[in-house]
Structure 1
Amino acid sequence: MNEFEVAKQLEAQSQNGNGVGDQGKFWPEPFSMQQFLSRPKDSTLYRWENTLAARGTSMIVALPRDGKTYLALNLGLSVARGVPFLGRKTVQSPVLYVSLDNSCEDMDQFVEKLGVTSSDQIFIQPSPIPDNAEEWLVDVIKRNGIKLAIIDTLQRFFQLEEGDYCEAVNRMTPLDNLAKDIGFHVLYVHHAGKNGVYLGTTAYKAMCPTFMELMRVGELQQRVLKSDQRTGTNFDSVAVAMNKHGWLEVAGTYEDVQVREITVKIHELLEAHEGDGQTESYIRKEMPARGIIVSKAIKGMHKAGEIERTGGGKKGDPFKYHLAKTLSAEGPSYSFPFEGEKKTGLAGQESKNMTQVQVNSKKNSSPEFWDKNGTSTDEQNSARELRDEQNDGWEILE
């Protein structure tokens, strides 16, 4: 009996009440605490530091076209190369990407954008796959030493009835048990509904100790990633952006996202009152955000030379803010790239005013900019260079 059959037998016994007298098939003896504490332990706790356990399952959820496939593939390539991803280290390991939503031609665009090479330890399986998908997957994992398997998407892999909690648990548990027993991780990619909440049963989240959500927010459609984890460290709503090398990076906190949104609105307000300086208190009153967010936006715009101020900054003579003269004549030039025109992406999907935000080049996750110790060597990327990028590339993403 192989590992998959053992896991299936365990599930059958737990559901049917089989037990006494059936010890020849599967009859585990519980650990004593002494045995539990002294058992051999795997020194690798995480495949992706404080995020994906070395043994177990996780899920990334997003609306269609919000970038979940690209994020998952970028993560997979980071693991295959053993380079940091979104500021967290990875353990170099072979990776399997089961692409059920994308054709080989679609995947060509992704791998080209990421700079995947023939030497990378990534195996790609496009649709279709066998009907007995779980057994096939375990066989591929064992034969190729796979440590991270990415299933894109969960629904197409398991073909579950929507909203059936019991069926989802029964189908997903054997593979979860095998991941823990053999020592690999399964990352499921799954769709969210129109309200941003994952489709289907709550069993999906219950079965995945690490649950990640990627979403677009605000008028600038900035990507925000957050996670809900039983172990490790949550991503607390961080901005994610693509650098000029096609790799994803953390581009600030959720507060930074809000500041960038308000920066645009402040520009629009001052443009509408061109020639009339506005006080910070007036700007705050007109902005749909907390005062501290508005103040940070004003300070950032002033520091970047996007706005000018007059007045003494004291009672009876407050600072008044105006658009910088060069901006009034030439139009806005924000401290992050802003693209106001719609374009057609490589996959024929129309962008929605995409914005590539400024990223910290000192934490560049692109593999060619990390040495063998995991230290970034990409110190030449300036904010201006990133600002010159006209297309953030997200529109080609699923």
Structure 2
Amino acid sequence: MSSDHQSNILSVLVVEILTQAALRPEFAFLGKSPSEARERFIGIVPGENTAVAQIASDGMNLDQKSALEVLLQKELAQHGLSATVYYKRRHSFADRMTLPDNGPTQPPPNRPGAFGVKMQLKPIPGVKKVIAVSSGKGGVGKSTVSVNLAAGLAAQGQAVGLLDADLYGPSAPLMMGIHGPISISADQKMIPHEKHGVKVMSFGFMSDPYHPVIWRGPMIAKALEQLFYQTVWGELDYLIIDLPPGTGDVQLTLIENVPLHGGIVVSTPQAVALLDAHKGLSMFEKLKVPVLGLVENMSHFRCSSCGHLDDIFGQAQIEAFAEERKIPIIGRIPLHRRIREASDGGIPVINLDPEFALYYMPIIEAVLRG
């Protein structure tokens, strides 16, 4: 069978699935009539026992996308196909603002955002200020900064929570020295662990540390929203969110849902890390998130034997970055064995060694001022 012929057969199949689904009340969001539902079909790319269905997602929310994806996967599986759904908006953001909503009533966007993000901000109950700690590149020490920032704020008498939002590679359980599953409240909400004066929630408490989380965007976004709103945070002055590296689904889900008081960008000083830091900073700026400052991690190597300082990653690049982007450097953290040992041992170095706590104090003060 030729690829074109196979594509035509699968197209007819998917269109029929959409037509029949539109007759069911739970899929009313597909359109007011079967013909509107059929118009959501964009195309299909067949493969060997696989198919990627392209569906127009205009007017659909995350739950509706997930429900339709499950239906298509179930129906196509009966034909021996492993299906994937690729959602694509057919209309521009401005056009979508005037389209009729065929699904459940949604609150209007609080404000428009860049990248087609629909800002429907919903505060986390009991949380006064949310601080997002971001990096464009992995391995620059963002989680170490997040953990010590949270512990440092708690040491200053603030009520603090830490949400480890890196669902693919959670590190807060190790760095905070917390192990074991979470508890569930009587109203079926998750109760965070508490240690070092910080309430901690991480997907790492609910997953096997030796097995990867192989989830696509909609599932990740849904899990993240549950961590935001289905956790018993209580009354918090600050919730520190340790974001995964990059500018993907997790970051956009956070920014389009949670009112952020400020963002912090973490980078090492070498050019390759700063290249990605530009992207993280631009994401905050375009989506109108106030940026509190830049943290330079691994600023220099400090020898544990003689105390000699060596700028092994250089300094000129970070200074040029800060000047170009008009962002203050609010912290310079050295590359030192003591910090690594504390993190691996599950104790924030800010609570373990007063000498190294001094490196994190400017970051804490910047957050308190902001």
Question: TM-score of the superposition, structure 1-length normalised?
Answer: 0.36
Question: TM-score of the superposition, structure 2-length normalised?
Answer: 0.38
> Which structure shows the higher helix fraction?
2
> Which structure shows the higher strand fraction?
2
Structure of greater Rg: 1
